[in-house]
Amino acid sequence: MNFTSRLAKILVLSVFCITVTVPQNVGAASVADTLRVPDALPISRGDFVRAAVKVLRMNVGNGKSALPYVRVPDALRPYIETAHIKGALEVFTDDLQLARSITRGQALFVLMKLQGLSGNETGLTYEDVHSGTPEAKAVLTAVRLGWMAPVSSKYFGVRRVLKGTDAKSLLRKVVGEAEPTRTAPTRFQTTAPTPNISVTVKSVGTSSSSKLPKAQILEAIWSYIGDNFLYTEDIDSEEAAYSAAEAIVKSLGEPYTTFLRPAGINNLETQIQGVVTGIGAQVEQRHGILTIVSPLRSSPAESAGLKPNDEILKADGVDLTSLPFMEAVDKVRGPKGTKVKLLIRRDGEEFEVNVTRDTVRVPEIEVTWQDGIAIVLLMQFGKATENDLRSTMEGIQRENPRGIVLDLRSNPGGLLHAANIVVSNFTPSGTLVARIVSRDGVRTDETTQPPTIRSDIPMVVLVNEGSASASEIVAGALQDHGRATVVGTKTFGKGTVQQVIRFNDESGLKITVAEWRTPNGRQIDGTGLQPDVTVQYDSERDEQMVKAMEILR
C-alpha cells in the first residue's frame, strides 16, 4: 500500500452541508420541522443561524443588502442579514465559514443577540469561559434563563460542538416549545463506540500495534467510574475521551504530533487561511515547552521583540510546561486588545514581556522593486501562495526583472503543496523538490508546471533561523539544483511532514507521517539548512538584503 492510499484509509471526514432553500414567510414551524439535522451530528453555523431566525419568527432580509462577510450562499443571505443587523455574528470573523460546526458558546451568543439581550459577566466562574470574550456574557445569560446547563461545576463546555439533539433542545427552551416524549438514554456507554467518531482498528491496519493497548482495562476503569464515582456531576465523558487521546499522543514524545480538540483544529485551519488571533507567532511544543518557530510579520509578538527559539514558560503566571499543547496555546491566545504577561527563556536566561493580543492578518505575498530587481516576500505557505503566487510571478516576468530576491526570512512554513508551487516558478517541469521518507518507503515530490521566470534571470533566497519547514524545502531545492544563491543564517531545522486528520466530531490528529530531505538527500530535521553565504542581520542596516543586491548586480 502506498503512502497516499494509506493516509486515505485512516482519514475519517464528516461533511456538514448547509441546506439551501428559498426563504418564505416565517411561520410558526416547530423546531423539529425547522432544524432537520440528525441528533448525533454537529450542526453547522449556517443551519443554526437560519433555524434561530425562523423559530424566533423574525423578519428576514431581502438578500440584497451589502454584507461585510465573504462566501455567503445566496439562499442564506436573508437570514445572515437579519443576524448581522442584530450583531449576532460578532462571535465569528469576516469569513463566517457557515459550513463549519457551531460551538455551544457561539450558539448562545447568536441567540442572546437575536433576542436583544445584552448579558453580563457578574459571577463568571467557569474555567473554560474567559472574561471579555463574546461568549462570556452569553453563557451567564443562558444559565440564568435556563437555556443550557454547564457540563460540570467547573466547566461550562463553551467550546464543545453543538450536536443536533442539543441544538433542538436549546431552541425549544428559548421559544418555550415542549420537548417531545422520548425513551430515556442509557446512563453510560462503555462497550459501544462513540457514534460520531467511526474509527475502527481495520481502518488503520491489522497489525497488533494498531489495537488499543490495555483496552479492556480502560473500559473497566470507565465502567467502574460510571457505577461508583461519588461526584457524578463531574463525570464528563467527552473530556475523559479527549484527555485520553491527548495522553496517548503525548506518550510518543514527538513534538509535532498532537491531538487537536475541535477548537485546536479550527485554529490550525484558520492560520493556514491567513488569519491569526493572539500574539501572532508560529509555535511548536518541544520537549513539553511551547517554543516560538517564528513571530509573524507586523504581529504583536514581533513588536514585543520575541524571536525564533524563544521558549514560553508561563502566561499570566500559569506554568505552561505541564500542559498539553493546545491548552498551553489557549493560555497565550485571547481576545483582541487584552494583554498577556509571558515568561520567556532565551539562551538560558529568563525574562518577562507584556504582549497586547490582536487579530493578525497574514498577507503572505508582498512584492517590491529595487533597481529593477523584484523582491518577493513570502510570509507563510498558505492558500494565497498556493493559489496566487504563479500569477504574481507571471506579472513580474512581464516586467523583465534583472534578478529575483525570494525573501523567506521568518517564514514558518505551511502547506507542502505550496512549497512545490513556489519551486515550480523557477525550475523546469518535473524538477525534484524533495524526497519524502515514510514507513512505506521513499517517494519523490516533483513539479508539474512550467516555470514562470526565465532560467537566465539570477535569484537569491534569503533565510534565517525563523525559516522553517516549507521554507527550508524551497531553499534546499533551489540550492541543490543550483538555481539560487542562499543568503542569511542557518534555518530552523524542521524536516518532518505532518498530516492533519479530521474526525467527524471536528477534533483531529496532527501526526508526523514522514521526513523530507533535499533533492540531494540532505537531512534537515534538527540541523537546519546552511546558507551559501552567511550574513548576520543588522536591524539598522539590512546586511542580508544588501548582500543579496550585491550578488544580483
**pLDDT tens-place string over residues 390-402:** 999 999 999 999 9
Separation in Å, CA 181 to CA 42, 149, 169, 178, 264? 22, 20, 12, 9, 36
User: Tens digits of per-residue pLDDT, 515-543?
Assistant: 999 999 999 998 999 999 999 987 678 89
Q: Which of 41-45, 243-247, 366-370 has the lowest mean pLDDT?
A: 41-45
The pLDDT of residue 85: 92
CATH number at residue 412: 3.90.226.10
Distance of CA 50 to the CA centre of its chain: 26
The pLDDT of residue 19: 26
Q: Which residue among 175, 205, 238 closes a domain?
A: 175
Query: Using 50, 70 and 90 to split pLDDT, how confident is the model at 65?
Result: confident
Q: Based on C-alpha coordinates, what's the Rg of the chain?
A: 26
CA–CA distance, 226 with 220 (Å, rounded to integer): 10
The pLDDT of residue 188: 30
The answer to whether position 245 is within a domain reads no
Q: Quick check: 292 and 282 in contact, CB under 8 A? A: yes
Q: Are residues 378 and 505 in the same domain?
A: yes
Q: Quick check: 289 and 350 in contact, CB under 8 A? A: no
Q: Are residues 483 and 427 in the same domain?
A: yes
Question: Is position 469 annotated as part of the catalytic site?
Answer: yes
Residue of 44, 101, 467, 469 marked active site? 469
The pLDDT of residue 548: 96
Q: Quick check: 11 and 204 in contact, CB under 8 A? A: no
Residue of 494, 505, 510, 547 marked active site? 494
Q: Is 15 left (phi over 0), alpha (psi -120 to 50) or beta?
A: beta
Q: Are residues 381 and 477 in the same domain?
A: yes
Exposure string over 394-406, b if 16+ CB within 10 A, otherwise e: eebbeeebebbbb
Q: Rounded to two decimals, what is the model's pTM?
A: 0.53
Q: Are residues 349 and 371 in the same domain?
A: no
Most trustworthy range by pLDDT among 120-129, 196-205, 297-306 = 297-306
Q: Which of 315-329, 362-376, 421-435 has the lowest mean pLDDT?
A: 315-329
The answer to whether position 200 is within a domain reads no
Tell which wins on pLDDT, 286 or 553: 553
Q: Which residue has the cell 465569528?
A: 92
Q: Are residues 333 and 440 in the same domain?
A: no
End-to-end alpha-carbon separation of the chain, Å? 50
Residue of 440, 480, 525, 532 marked active site? 480
Q: Percentage of the chain with pLDDT > 90?
A: 35
Q: Are residues 460 and 496 in the same domain?
A: yes
Q: Quick check: 232 and 185 in contact, CB under 8 A? A: no
Q: Are residues 464 and 499 in the same domain?
A: yes
How confident is the prediction for the chain on average, in pLDDT? 81
SS3 of 360, please? strand
Q: Which of 307-311, 427-431, 445-449, 498-502 has the lowest mean pLDDT?
A: 498-502
Q: Which of 20-29, 75-84, 280-289, 442-451 has the lowest mean pLDDT?
A: 20-29
Question: Is position 237 annotated as part of the catalytic site?
Answer: no
The answer to whether position 313 is within a domain reads yes
Asked if pLDDT for residue 246 goes beyond 70, the answer is yes
Q: Are residues 91 and 126 in the same domain?
A: yes
Query: Using 50, 70 and 90 to split pLDDT, how confident is the model at 264?
Result: low
Q: Quick check: 470 and 419 in contact, CB under 8 A? A: yes
Q: Percentage of the chain with pLDDT > 70?
A: 83
> Which residues lie across from 517 on neighbouring strands?
435, 523
Q: Are residues 157 and 98 in the same domain?
A: yes
The answer to whether position 14 is within a domain reads no
Q: Which residue among 361, 394, 418 closes a domain?
A: 361
Question: Is position 383 annotated as part of the catalytic site?
Answer: no
The answer to whether position 323 is within a domain reads yes
The answer to whether position 254 is within a domain reads no
Query: Using 50, 70 and 90 to split pLDDT, how confident is the model at 235?
Result: confident
Domain that includes residue 43, residue range = 20-175
CA–CA distance, 530 with 518 (Å, rounded to integer): 12
The answer to whether position 467 is within a domain reads yes
Q: Quick check: 55 and 34 in contact, CB under 8 A? A: yes
Tell which wins on pLDDT, 432 or 297: 432
The answer to whether position 385 is within a domain reads yes
CATH number at residue 325: 2.30.42.10
CA–CA distance, 472 with 445 (Å, rounded to integer): 14
Number of structural domains in the chain: 3
Lateral strand order in the sheet of 365-370 = 365-370, 373-378, 403-407, 459-463, 485-488, 533-534
Q: Are residues 29 and 163 in the same domain?
A: yes
Q: Are residues 51 and 130 in the same domain?
A: yes
Q: Are residues 326 and 396 in the same domain?
A: no
Asked if pLDDT for residue 185 goes beyond 70, the answer is no
Q: Which residue among 361, 394, 413 closes a domain?
A: 361
